[in-house]
Structure formats: C-alpha cells, structure tokens
Structure 1
C-alpha cells in the first residue's frame, strides 16, 4: 500500500472506495504511520492523518484556504455544482462578516432559549419509543428528532422536510470524487434543490426563528438579501445530516458497549462529555479538504502552491500521539480536542445546537432506558464525507 519516493510517503489507498468507507480505521492507521503528510497517488493530492498536522492546518487558514472548496474539486479550475457556501467555502473578509452574524444568532443565550423546546420534544419522542420497545435507531430516533427540532428552530414549514436528508447527502457526497455515491446522491438533484431554495427566502420562514434572524441582519446592513438566503441554506445543508449521523453513532456505541451506558445512567452529568467521546470515537464528519495558497514545508516535505490537502479529522481523533488507548470508547474520557467539529475560524458554527440535541435525547434516554440491544446487524450509510448508519435495529430494556 505504501512506498516512499525521494522525500515523500506515497499511498495507493483510495479513501472514497466502499471498502475504505466501510471500515476506515486500519487505513487511518496506515496513513498516520506513513508520515505527517502523505501523497495519495490515485487523486494527486496530499493527505494528513495525524492530530498535530490536521489541527495545525485547520488553524492556518492563510496557508490552507477554504474558498477553493472544501472538497476534492478546485473551484478555481472547475465550476461547483451549486453556488459556494459563503461560510464553509469562504475565507476572510467575507467569512468574517457572515460568521459574525451566525455566531450571534447561535449565541449561548439563543441556545438557552431553544433548550426547553428541544428537551420537550426529546421527552415526547423517547416516551413513544419506550412504549414500542423495538425501533430503528436511525429512522425512528436520529432522523425523526433531527428533522423535527432543528427545522422548527430555523422556522421551516413542516411540508417537504423529507427533502432535507437527500439534500444533505448531495452536499456531503459532493466533497468527494464524482463516484457512484455522488451519482446516486445527485440523481434527483433538481427537485430537491428547488425545494431547498424555496425555503431559504424571507417569505418562507416563520417569524422569530433562526432563519428570520438571519434576514434581520439584512435590515441592519450586515448582509445582502441573497447572502441571507445562502446562510439559511448553509443551516439546512450542514445542520441535519451531521446530527443524524452523530445521534445514530452514539446509539450504536451504547448498544455495542453496554457497560458505558450503565456508567452514563449512574452519572447523567457525564452526558455532555460522553457525546464528545462519541464524536471522537465514531466521527460523523470524517474529512474535509483545504487548498494551499503558497508553497509550504510540512515536516520536511514540500507542498506546492494550489495543491489539495485531504484532512482526516477522524484519523486525528484516534491518533495515539494525542490520545491514550484511542481505540477504546470511554464516556469518562476527556475528549476535548477532537477534530470532528474542526477548529480555528472554520470550527463548526452550529456545534452548540448539535450538543444541545444530544444532551436532550440522551438526558431523556438515561431516565427511561436501562439498556439497548441490537436485534439485527446495522447497515452502514456510505458517504464520501460522513460516517454513520442507514439502519440500526434496536430493542430497549426500560427502567
């Protein structure tokens, strides 16, 4: 798999193959051990899989830019399939301006206001599922909850919300190559994209919601009307799938490690930290790209200007240089410093919402569920960027 030419480690690994995506961890280890930076010959790109280099690259936005796209394709050489995000795929000064609006709208005070609604909906959903005893952890919990509370908070009407998941799938698959996963995700792109755009206008949003608050920044002169619509679109593309995958992965971890669920039930104050450990151990967001803006030296290897760099967030999360027993799932671990939300100026702007959703759901579950049992083999949902499950058949033992 590996060979070293002159001064750079080279790998034939394909990080977008089905084999890799089904079980990335052995490949992550191979890439970490190959060196601080590795050349992926199939795509002609660099990759970093160690915690130190991934973190350093995310922080150094001047050298590793996002505006050329955070996927494999280079926006400076080929047109993107949709207008680039003015937050995710932007650099300062545009990014600074748009990020300031979202940071204010998702402030700690705003999150406190959402908490009651998120907890109420979590209690209702969990009560229903406990009565059922058996359910699918993805469709009946992770998707049902994420498609309810976050769109409610944004102010999206109920009709057509089933379009949110295929849209997220298109977005995250588009960060990889134009492979079968991308083709499948974009097969129905037109109608889904039209529905999303129709929900991103001022007229379509409920008063008082997060979406309308973005449009209020137009009235105060911080954004233009089209920019506000694009930021609402960013909410809808980044805020659903990632949480669905995160909640599904958490349920899977607790079904596979029942002793960890027992620890959590006895110490509910560990819930917040336990979700961070889920994000470290089974990262819903596995990778993001950057593009070099100049020649840069990484551990003695020279990266040219304008080169794509694939950052393995999930591999960094299990780097033994950073973590003790990285392949062990431990809810008592202090997992702060994981790379799943990124870091630096592009650290996930909605991470407080994701944490709130997880706290509400697992707070409700710890009160009512003694344990989870798998009633069948979970099936993976392969995606060029995300890692999670398509089905998770569960039976619960109530308290």
Structure 2
C-alpha cells in the first residue's frame, strides 16, 4: 500500500514509522508529522517525535538536554544492556566523548585526507573505465555506490582484504538495531555474534597496516590521548559508520542525477559542483533518516511537556525537507546552498567522517562525469529497508559515453 497524506487515515501518533510501507516511502508520513506539530507522541513506541527542522536542529545541538549516552536508538541504556559496547562517538557525551572525538577529528580533518585525493582519483578512474568497458548498462548500487567505498575506505583505515565482505552486513544490522526489535532486526540476529567477532578482529593493532587511520588511532593510544581499551572501539566506529552511510549517500546522488538530466549536464559543465551535489543529495534523501536522544530533564518543546528520561525520535529526513527551512524542498537543485542540512547530524555528535564521505563522492562523480554524457534509470528500482537508513538495493542505469 502506498501511503499519502489523503490516505493516512489514522492520527500520526498511531502510525508505526518503522513499518514496511513507510520505510518504502517515508515522505507522506513525514509531511503529516510536520503538519501535526513541532512534537508528536508516537503511541506505539511511547516516544516523542520531531519532524520539523528547527526542533530537530535544536535537539541535535543541545547535548546537555538531549543525551546521546543513553543510546541513539530506541533502547534506553539507562535501563537496558546494549547488544554491543556503545560507540565512543555516537553514544557518549562530554567528558567521555571528548578525547575520542578530538583524535578522530585530527585524523579525518580536511587537510589530513587530502593526501588520499590523488590515489582515490586514480582508483575511481580505473573503476569507471573497467565498468564502462563491460557495457553502458549497470547497477549503480552494486557496481558504483558499493564498489568504490569498499575499494578505498577499508584501505584508508588499514584493514586487510580478507573479511571486508562482513562490513555491509554488520553495518546493516547495527543501523537496524537502532530501531525497534522488528523483523529487520530479527533477520540479522543469527549472524550478530559472527559479524561482531569478525569486525572486532579487524580492529586489533597487529591486523592493521602501519599507514592507515587505524594505526593512527593506536598511535594516539600510545601517546596517551586515548586509552588502549578505547582504540579498537574507535576503529570499530569508523568501520560501522563509515561504509553503509557513504554507500547510501552515493546511491542517492546517482539516483538524483539519473532523475534530473539537467543537473547532470550542469555538473559536467562545472565539476566543482560535485561536493554541492553530494550534500544536496544527502539533504534530499537523508541516508540516515532517524536518530534518538534521551531527555536529561523535564522540558517543554512547542507547547508539549516532555518528562525527563524519555526517548526523542528525531526525523532527520523530515527536517531536511521541511518547507519552513527549505524553498522547494523536494527538488534536487545544484543552485541551492544545502549547508545547514542535518543529514550528517549537527553539533558535537555530527558525523566526524563527513569530509571522507564528500571526498569519496566527489571523486567518483568527477571520474564518471569525464566519461558519461548522460545517465538514466533503465529498469525497475528496488529499495533496501533498514530501520535507520534510506537505502537502495538496486538501481539499474544506462549511460551514454563521451
């Protein structure tokens, strides 16, 4: 069933935002959520939901009131035991958050990652050349959006080739687990122990190369900037959050260009727009759709009283299409300034790897734009459902080459 504002018969508070129908097409629900008010109680999960930009942005930046340390998923770490060690970045607040964040901010800063640009450009051109040599029709998800990050990012972290096939399944379950214990979580549960052990093994000092991000994290432990116990958890955070999100961001921007040939022509004319294009696609599609916070005190938002220790469900995807913030929000427009979108979060917990994601995206887009004059959807597309992520499973395209 396709849900539209006209057919959304039940009050918003009675709707399950993690149902298959809404995961397939969340936009009508998100519009109804924004129209319902700045804060809406979702009865099924007994959480308070925010779908408008101003409230979501304010919650993301007020870490003192909207806590991450109790978990950024539905589970409340104050009362429930997490299925894995909490992330030192996403699921910690100051002062525990500060040292790991400072270490990664330095390692993944824009100046530091520029050294990757030339080698990644060569990898991107080789990938595009090999792909186009096979023909002008391919799947933009498996052949590009997954292939490029899985080619360059694990190398940059310094993990071995063996075991990289576990990265996407582990990340898929990790992001599913932020939501309710539904069938999507149950689907991944049988492999949790296996995948967790496989990822943990790749975070050990002796497994990592000596010239990657992982080795730099362990060097920070040697200097005393972080503890030796924290080092593998920080490497794990990179592997958990640094692959799936970028894959889905790349798929989003490729789909946007396939659906908007005029914008592809604009990119080919002005390649410097590649980073703007990626951010605009992240705003439009919001690969990370939702995150939770937990209130640390009683608070009133938009006339609604929210008690202490209650879960807040922030709809990042809804905020990024809020017409109160964005003009013509449903359009993919390279003339827009998308800065300020919350697709990477905001405040002290915003995505520390966003510069890496932008470099990956701009590199593959520039390599593609050199060779491809047009791209279009060539067959049925298919979404991949995840409780947190907005993802494509299949995106068949056909291209014309220069």
Question: Once the 2 structures are TM-superposed, how far is the Cα of residue 185 of structure 1 from its aligned partner?
Answer: 2.2
Q: Unaligned stretches of 5+ in structure 2? A: 1-7
Q: More deviation in 31-40 or 123-132?
A: 123-132
Aligned partners of 1:17 and 1:281: how far apart in 2? 21
Q: More deviation in 233-242 or 387-396?
A: 387-396
Aligned partners of 2:181 and 2:377: how far apart in 1? 34
Aligned partners of 1:3 and 1:167: how far apart in 2? 35
Question: Once the 2 structures are TM-superposed, how far is the Cα of residue 187 of structure 1 from its aligned partner?
Answer: 2.5
Q: 2:335 aligns with which of 307, 310, 332?
A: 332
Question: Once the 2 structures are TM-superposed, how far is the Cα of residue 373 of structure 1 from its aligned partner?
Answer: 2.1
Change (3 A) 1:2 1:321: farther
Residue 177 (structure 2) aligns with: 174
Aligned partners of 1:280 and 1:110: how far apart in 2? 26
Q: Unaligned stretches of 5+ in structure 1? A: 5-9
1:231 aligns with 2:234: yes
Q: 2:48 aligns with which of 22, 46, 53?
A: 46
Scaled by the length of structure 2, what TM-score is found?
Answer: 0.96
Question: Once the 2 structures are TM-superposed, how far is the Cα of residue 3 of structure 1 from its aligned partner?
Answer: 8.3
What per-residue deviation string (whole Å, max 9, x for no partner) do you get for residues 279-301 of structure 1? Answer: 11111110100000000010221
Aligned partners of 1:108 and 1:240: how far apart in 2? 18
Residue 67 (structure 2) aligns with: 65
Name the SS of the counterpart of 2:45 in structure 1: coil
Aligned partners of 2:391 and 2:173: how far apart in 1? 15
Aligned partners of 1:326 and 1:320: how far apart in 2? 6
What per-residue deviation string (whole Å, max 9, x for no partner) do you get for residues 316-341 of structure 1? Answer: 00000000011111122111111100
Aligned partners of 1:215 and 1:194: how far apart in 2? 19
Residue 260 (structure 1) aligns with: 263
Scaled by the length of structure 1, what TM-score is found?
Answer: 0.97
Change (3 A) 1:178 1:3: closer
What per-residue deviation string (whole Å, max 9, x for no partner) do you get for residues 331-386 of structure 1? Answer: 22111111100110001000000000001000101111011122211100000000
Aligned partners of 1:25 and 1:141: how far apart in 2? 26
Question: Once the 2 structures are TM-superposed, how far is the Cα of residue 2 of structure 1 from its aligned partner?
Answer: 8.0
1:356-375 alignment, distance < 5 Å: 356-375=359-378
Aligned partners of 1:269 and 1:116: how far apart in 2? 16
Residue 4 (structure 2) aligns with: none
Residue 190 (structure 1) aligns with: 193
Residue 105 (structure 2) aligns with: 103
Question: Once the 2 structures are TM-superposed, how far is the Cα of residue 186 of structure 1 from its aligned partner?
Answer: 2.5
Whether the 8 Å contact between 1:15 and 1:21 is mirrored in structure 2 is: yes
Q: 1:29 aligns with which of 23, 28, 31?
A: 31
RMSD: 1.2
Aligned partners of 2:385 and 2:190: how far apart in 1? 16
Whether the 8 Å contact between 1:273 and 1:331 is mirrored in structure 2 is: yes
Aligned partners of 1:147 and 1:70: how far apart in 2? 26
Aligned residues: 394
Name the SS of the counterpart of 1:234 in structure 2: helix
Name the SS of the counterpart of 2:385 in structure 1: coil
Question: Once the 2 structures are TM-superposed, how far is the Cα of residue 263 of structure 1 from its aligned partner?
Answer: 1.4
Q: 1:141 aligns with which of 144, 158, 179?
A: 144
Which of structure 1's runs of 4+ aligned residues deviate more than 3 A? 1-4
Question: Once the 2 structures are TM-superposed, how far is the Cα of residue 111 of structure 1 from its aligned partner?
Answer: 1.1
1:114-153 alignment, distance < 5 Å: 114-132=116-134, 133-153=136-156
Name the SS of the counterpart of 1:186 in structure 2: helix
Aligned partners of 1:14 and 1:40: how far apart in 2? 8
1:317 aligns with 2:330: no
Q: 1:278 aligns with which of 273, 281, 290?
A: 281
Residue 163 (structure 2) aligns with: 160
Q: 2:22 aligns with which of 20, 32, 38?
A: 20
1:342-381 alignment, distance < 5 Å: 342-381=345-384
Name the SS of the counterpart of 2:233 in structure 1: helix
